[in-house]
Structure formats: C-alpha cells, structure tokens
Amino acid sequence: MATTLRRRNKQPEDSHPDPKPDEDDDDIKDSKPIKKSGKNNKIKNYSCLDNCCWFVGCVCSVWWLLLFLYNAMPASFPQFVTEAISGPFPDPPGVKCVKEGLKAKHPVVFVPGIVTGGLELWEGHQCMDGLFRKRLWGGTFGEVYKRPSCWVQHMSLDNKTGMDPPGIRVRPVNGLVAADYFAPGYFVWAVLIANLARVGYEEKNMYMAAYDWRLSFQNTEVRDQTLSQIKSNIELMVATNGGRKAVIIPHSMGVIYFLHFMKWVEAPAPTGGGGGPDWCAKHIKAVMNIGGPFLGVPKAVAGLFSAEAKDIASVRALAPGVLDSDLFQIQTLQHVMRMSRTWDSTMSMIPKGGDAIWGGLDWSPEDGYSPSKRKHAKNDTESSTQSESEIEATHANYGRIISFGRDAAEAPSSEIERIEFRGAVKGNNVANNTCRDVWTEYHDMGFGGIKAVAEYKVYTASDIVDLLEFVAPKMMERGSAHFSYGIADNLDDPKYKHYKYWSNPLETKLPNAPDMEIYSMYGVGIPTERGYVYKLTTAAECYIPFQIDTSAKDKNEDGCLKDGVYTVDGDETVPALSAGYMCAKGWRGKTRFNPSGIKTYVREYDHNPPANILEGRGTQSGAHVDIMGNFQLIEDVIRVAAGATGEELGGDQVYTDIFEWSEKVNLKL
C-alpha cells in the first residue's frame, strides 16, 4: 500500500511539467495567441490546486477503501487475530457460568458512581439551542470543545442551593444506557451487563439506578425523586420475579449512595421512604460493593483544595506552562474548580472518621507499607534484608494528608512548628474584581489567610475538614448540611436520625436484616493517592494559591512519593483501607454499626495489567473502573445473582494486609 502511494505521489509531479510545453505548442498550432498568456497563468494555479485536490482525493479513497474493508470484515476477525497472537481467550465468565448451568435468579440493581453516569440537557440557555436531550456529560463530550464556557455554565449547579440554576435543567440519562459506556468504547457496566445477559438477565430483572451524581444524595430525592424510583423499581422486580430478593451492585460513590438509600428507605415518610423497619430484610439479598470509598478518598481532598489530582499534577510536571498559561486566557483549572465546587457530591467523599481511621501526625494504619514489599512477598524469592532496608528508606507518614513542603511531610512531629490557622484573619484580596467571572472562593481570601494555611504545615484527616471550611466556607456550609465526617459516640443519639449522617458508615447502623450479605470487592496492587505535598503558587493575579509540589520525589523508583503524591496500595482511586475497613472490621460480626450481624466479605482482586494492547483494558485489571471488566469479579457477581452465598464463593479473598491495618485502627466497636 505504502509503496503504491509513494509512486502515485511522485508520478503527477513528473507528469505535470511535461504537458506544459505541449500546451504551448498546441496553442501556437491552433493559432490562438491572444489567449495564450492568460491561460498560462491559470494553468500554473491549477497545478497547485490540482495537487491539493489530488492529494485529498487519494487520502479519501484510501480511507473509504479501508473503511469498506473494515466493514466487510467478518465480526469474529479481531478475535481471531488476538487469539492467534496471544493464545486462546478464556471463556467469558457468562459463558462459563452458563455451561455450569447457572441461571438468572435474583433481580440485579446497578448503582453507578460519580462521573460515570451520563447527564443530558432538558432546558438550557440560548447558547445550548438544539441540544435538547443530548448528552452533556458522557458520550463524546463534543460540546465541551465547541462551546466550553456554555458547557461549564450548564454543568454547574447553583452556588447557594446546590440545585439547578434558574433556567437550566440537566438531568441524568435513564436506563442501562446511562452508564454502560462512559465515552464511546470506554465501558463501565457494559461488560458486566453482557455477561449477566448470557445467563438470562434482561431489562425486566436488571435495573440501572441512574441518579444525578452532582447533587447531594438527599437532593436527588428532593429534585428528581430518584430514591423513590429506586425503591419502587426494586419492589416491582422482587414482586415480578417470584419474590426473590434483589442483588445490589453499587460502584464507587454508588456505594455510599446506597448506604444512604438503605437508611432513607426505612426512615418514616417526610424525609424517608417510609418502607418500614424490615424493608431491606425483605427486598435485599446482597449488596456487592465494587471499589467502595466507604470512608472517603484522599483524592477528594486534593480535588476540592486545588482542583488537582495525580493526573493533573503529572501533566503539570511534564509541561509546567500548559495548564496555567494566561496566554490563552483559558484558566482551565479555575473553571474546573468553580464547577466542581458547586457539586455537593464531591463532598461526600472527603475522608471520614478523622485521625482514628486515617492516622495522626506520627502513625497511620498502613505504616510500614511499601510497594516493593508486596511484590517480594508475592514472589517469595528476594532476600529479606534488602526489602527491609527499602522499607526504612520509604517510610511515609500517611497520616499527614496534606503537608506544606517535603520537610514537613517527613520530619518527626516534635520538630514541626505549627501555627494555628483557625480564626486567622483572611485579609482582603485587592485583585478580587479583576478576576473576570471566575469564582473559586480563593478570591475572597486575602494573602493573610493563604499564609496562615501554609504555616500550619501539616494537616491530618481531622484537620482537613477544618481546612476546607477555612478556605471554602460557603461550599462547606452547603456540604455540611448534607454530609458528616465524624465517628458516632452513641449511635442511639436522636440527632443521628438526620439524613446528613446516613451516608457515613461510622455514624449509622446497618439495617436490621440478618440474612443480608455485604461484600466489599475492590482491586489492589496499584499505587493509590494517600497524601500530598503542597507548595504555594507563585503569585499571579487570578490563581489557585496552592499547588501539588511535583518536584517532591523519592530517590528510588519504588518509592511511595512521586510527583508530590504519597501512594499506598489500592485500586488507583480508593485506598484499600477505605474500601476494606468496614467489611474487614467495622461491620464484622455483631458490632454497634452492624447490630443485626449482617455477614460481610472482603474480596480483593490483584491487579494484573493487560498483557498487550489487543486485550484492551484487560480481563484481570484491578483499577477502579477497569475492574468492572475483571472476569473473576464478574464471575463472583453472577454466582451471587444466581443464588450463591458468600460462603460458597469462598469467603474472604485477601492480598493486602487489610486485616492487620484494621486492627491498628482504634475504634470502639
């Protein structure tokens, strides 16, 4: 193909100069000398234009030809090639289970997480004309490029209420299409759905509980009646499937959304669903939480604090200027921050449980973890001395979720001088009004406030909430009406009837449903954000004053600190501690959080990166979203949906030291 193209490319260049003299000859012979000069000019122009057209034509034809070949290709061809290269595929779990004779039994409910659910436009301003019921979030994200500021305007919620801004209605997409694919080709639930379909599932016994993931949980009910819809759909499916209880499969933030639901549904009417105290026992067989951030994620802190995360920090490390360039007047990050700060749901994932869970200045449950240690433990070959020395080298104070400067992150607690920031005078920012329309609350904060924040040096999980309240008072005011991050001393205290506690597993009791099962299924073996090293930004007029210090790195490659981010074991987003603690310890047996003794199981899936590109996102991945394509996990889900219990699955399946870590957590159970 390439050679013919090259030949074609050369040919016209050769042939073009030739005809020109001939033309001249012809013209003379035809004795039309008057036209001669004019024509000559034209012909020169044409040869350039012609070349362009010719080239475009070539490319188009080749493209069409390839497209045609691609379409004419039998559907099994790619698989054939893959099998030829990397050996035969294992059977997809659905097929395997069908062969074993498993059949659809319990109805299945999916609860998608944050970000992965599609949102569509129902009413908008002028700039969104013609996009009625088109996806704004998910799909191709075409509108983000075409009309970015309009898009940001429509995706943001109201600053005060956390609900729709006037004149704008953006609503979740309904049905399985809401979250089967996030963007074209990037599956979320699609693989799981396809495999469930093999054992006989279809729309009547499979339900996607799509909700607007930007809202606080209670507001999804207030605005869209989403919780009521989920309730009645579960009731319907249980009733039409011969009274078989439902298996719930929440993912990511859906996990805490469903915790909220379980409290809501049994609470009496005005704030709750009025299902009565045994609703869960009657309607739910098992809750299979996938990658659940039960106790929050540190990523949410970085997101709220400086609209950053590992991805953005490493972009910044690679090309320092791009994101901050004032040149194009883009202010991307500021816009992102302004938008995401109007989303109440991000506050649901701030680390919960404070120092007791996440560790204080000098200790944390995961102390002693090193990425290399687990590798060696797995291989069982390396000499122990070497790995021990590495542990010492990479000892990290995970308890310090935010530290200003690397020194502060590593110094023993006694050496850190902290100046209290709470109550510090924020001062006035003179540059406030020049910052165009961007609004990130940082502009209400003067230099004094920023300095005070930096001088506190180190923030643990308990300090984080105060910190956020200091830098973003309005947002946190909204958020604290809907979420709480503490640990309950006395769960029978009547104040815990308020819905803001429902999504925090440390401040609620599980429902009274002794036959129910709770699974925590998550990937491990991927470095996951746990703590951050921050620095002050070099001042510019409109800016976010804090930034992850990407220069902070460990000396050796295996270190926990990279680009200013301390990592720990987890699924790339949720640390194993947050995903596993409740099921490994907090709810194990009859504890005060689990008075009826619901059985809990921890199932970890070790991450194996896909062997080659052809495998796509892998069938053994442990990453936060890619795990939805993990064959082992899918098989577990199908087995439970077909009637198996946790014991039949094999109980716990653990690769990390989650039980050890859980023991270190000092919590009255």
Cβ at position 23, least distance to other proteins in Å: 5
52 binds other proteins (CB under 8 A): yes
Cβ at position 183, least distance to other proteins in Å: 15
Binding-site member from 2, 3, 17, 18 for other proteins (CB under 8 A): 18
11 binds other proteins (CB under 8 A): yes
Cβ at position 434, least distance to other proteins in Å: 30
**Three-class DSSP category at 385:** helix
Cβ at position 423, least distance to other proteins in Å: 44
Cβ nearer to other proteins, comparing 57 with 320: 57
Quick check: is 260 catalytic? no
Spatial separation of the C-alpha atoms in residues 572 and 408, rounded to whole Å: 25
For residues 525, 529, 531, 536, the Cα torsion angle rounded to the nearest 10 degrees is 150
Give strand ranges (E) for 140-227: 169-172, 181-183, 186-187, 206-208
**Contact range with other proteins by CB under 8 A, out of 49-57, 353-361, 373-381, 551-559:** 49-57
Strands ordered across the beta sheet of 108-111: 206-208, 108-111, 246-250, 284-290, 517-524, 599-606
Cβ nearer to other proteins, comparing 40 with 389: 40
**Contact range with other proteins by CB under 8 A, out of 6-14, 459-467, 482-490, 538-546:** 6-14
User: What distance, in Å, lies between the first and last C-alpha atoms of the chain?
Assistant: 70
167 binds other proteins (CB under 8 A): no
- Residue whose C-alpha is closest to residue 525's, from 654, 398, 433: 654
> What does the DSSP 8-state code read for residue 88?
P
Residue the block writes with tokens 């996102």:
617
* Catalytically annotated residue among 571, 626, 652, 657: 571
**Three-class DSSP category at 400:** coil
* Catalytically annotated residue among 156, 216, 252, 348: 252
How many residues sit close enough to other proteins to count as binding (CB under 8 A)?
62
What ranges in 620-657 are assigned the alpha helix state H?
A: 631-641, 646-649
The answer to whether the CB of 15 falls within 8 A of the CB of 47 is no
Cβ at position 415, least distance to other proteins in Å: 53
169 binds other proteins (CB under 8 A): yes
Residue the block writes with tokens 């040869």:
47
Cβ at position 345, least distance to other proteins in Å: 18
Cβ nearer to other proteins, comparing 20 with 375: 20
Which amino acid would we find at residue 58?
C
The answer to whether the CB of 525 falls within 8 A of the CB of 607 is yes
Cβ nearer to other proteins, comparing 144 with 393: 144
The answer to whether the CB of 118 falls within 8 A of the CB of 173 is yes
> What does the DSSP 8-state code read for residue 427?
-
Show the binding pattern over residues 127-166: x = contacts other proteins (CB under 8 A), - = does not. --xx-xx-----------xx--------------------
Residues 193-222 that bind other proteins (CB under 8 A): 193-194, 197-198, 202-204
95 binds other proteins (CB under 8 A): no
Binding-site member from 82, 159, 229, 632 for other proteins (CB under 8 A): 229
6 binds other proteins (CB under 8 A): no
174 binds other proteins (CB under 8 A): yes
Element (H, E) at 433: none
Spatial separation of the C-alpha atoms in residues 186 and 31, rounded to whole Å: 68
240 binds other proteins (CB under 8 A): yes
CA 245 vs. chain centroid, Å, equals 29
Cβ at position 633, least distance to other proteins in Å: 20
Quick check: is 652 catalytic? no
Q: State phi, psi for 533 to the nearest 5 degrees.
A: -105, 120
**Three-class DSSP category at 250:** strand
- Residue whose C-alpha is closest to residue 115's, from 407, 343, 449, 452: 343
Neighbouring C-alpha atoms within 13 Å toward the C-beta of 34: 0
242 binds other proteins (CB under 8 A): no
Quick check: is 520 catalytic? no
* Residue ranges that bind other proteins, judged by CB under 8 A: 8, 11-12, 15, 18-19, 22-23, 26, 39, 42-43, 45-46, 48-50, 52-58, 60-61, 75-76, 122-123, 126, 129-130, 132-133, 145-146, 169, 171-172, 174-177, 180, 193-194, 197-198, 202-204, 224-225, 228-229, 232-233, 235-236, 239-240
Active site residue ranges: 252, 571, 624
